[in-house]
Chain A
């Protein structure tokens, strides 16, 4: 039985036995070669479920929005499972209300090519799941530090490169909408009293948005890359995410989305944290 058949069978069982009220998975999208999230509530609809390299959307992003419905089954590849762990850490969802159907992932496609975030993926298999659907995939060797070249530039070159990139931002907030970490009822970009970020797409407001978004991702982002794939302007959002993840790993030895019992890195501290930058 193929992996997709197993997935459909298991989803059907869970729904028929009323163990879950909803299975979150993927179905084929309208555009050829695309997939779209599927919210399956009837056993007969489970036949539409798929899983392959089209399934780049991080399904954990939907959990905070559907958790009130009851017990939920969710299809999770490596990065999705880490996002679920991140949500568990922040008490956004109960472990008991989830049935995590783990799938190994060979990397997802972004406009026909292997997604950039998948080249540095160190966790292709779920880090947390109730049952595996299909076999685990082989661990891959992540690409070397993708920021190395950028960090060798001079400060002014780095600033210019980032400004050139974010100046294209149209502030549609697609990156926020698809992000599993972004569940705040009122996002800082929507707050108007005080208004933290200016609403214009001027360079200063755009870089403020992206820097603050990066700060909010520090210690929480699992680098699934769904924001980069969701960006209609093709901005390299992963550059910011990777940087904060790298800082958090180097300074605090923490990797986001691994252990649900550990607090997020920036909600914790160690009295011996390095403080060479403080006088």
Chain B
């Protein structure tokens, strides 16, 4: 199915050969996933330039609102990543976050928002290759889904 493209997606055509290039907002926890992204960078591991990183102190800092708000304001996908369970810098932040994300995940599925639009992962500071893998995977999933239209707030013309 041919999806109408947004201007920015059209601008990205040069580099991606006409394919839709999703915009993904990534909430990365300062202590693990952000450092994991850093490791991917200094190791020169290649991954798609689709993510816009927002550094948060802990995955427990990520209010479900941030995720929906990103989708409403034009993100095609959202990735939330934190420390592996048991490794939280604040001991239990990601455990509490996990319950919240579980409810959000099921609620979005219930509301008919495509699974894959919002992804969750655990990436440690030592997993640069894994971080790149997650981003490749999430980007591919969102690319398959096409531009996000369901929660998007249309700008007033």
Contact = CB atoms under 8 A, between A and B. Distances in A.
Q: Do A and B come from one complex?
A: yes
Contacts of A243: 106-107, 110
Interface residues of B, number: 38
A2 interface: no
Contact of A215 (B72, B95, B104, B119): B104
B137 interface: yes
B122 A278 contact: yes
A231 B81 CA distance: 38
B52 interface: no
Nearest to A218: B103
Contacts of B122: 278-279
B92 interface: yes
B106 A247 contact: yes
A155 B107 CA distance: 12
B112 interface: yes
Name the prevailing secondary structure of the B interface residues.
helix
Name the prevailing secondary structure of the A interface residues.
helix
Contacts of B121: 278-279
Contacts of B112: 153-160, 162
Given A158-B110, A158-B112, A212-B68, A267 B103 contact: no
A119 to B, nearest CB: 20
Contacts of A214: 107
B42 interface: no
B98 A247 contact: no
A279 B110 contact: no
B111 A215 contact: no
A278 B98 contact: yes
A265 B99 contact: yes
A207 interface: yes
A8 B105 CA distance: 48
A252 interface: yes
B85 A271 contact: yes
B3 to A, nearest CB: 15
A238 B61 CA distance: 28
Contacts of B85: 271, 275
Contacts of A151: 110
Interface of B: 64-65, 68-69, 72, 85-86, 92, 95-96, 98-114, 119-122, 134, 137, 150-154
The 3 A-B pairs at the shortest CB distance, nearest first, are namely A159-B112, A158-B112, A269-B95
Interface of A: 151, 153-160, 162, 188, 196, 198, 202, 204-205, 207-208, 211-212, 214-215, 218-219, 240, 243-244, 247-248, 251-252, 265-271, 273-275, 277-279
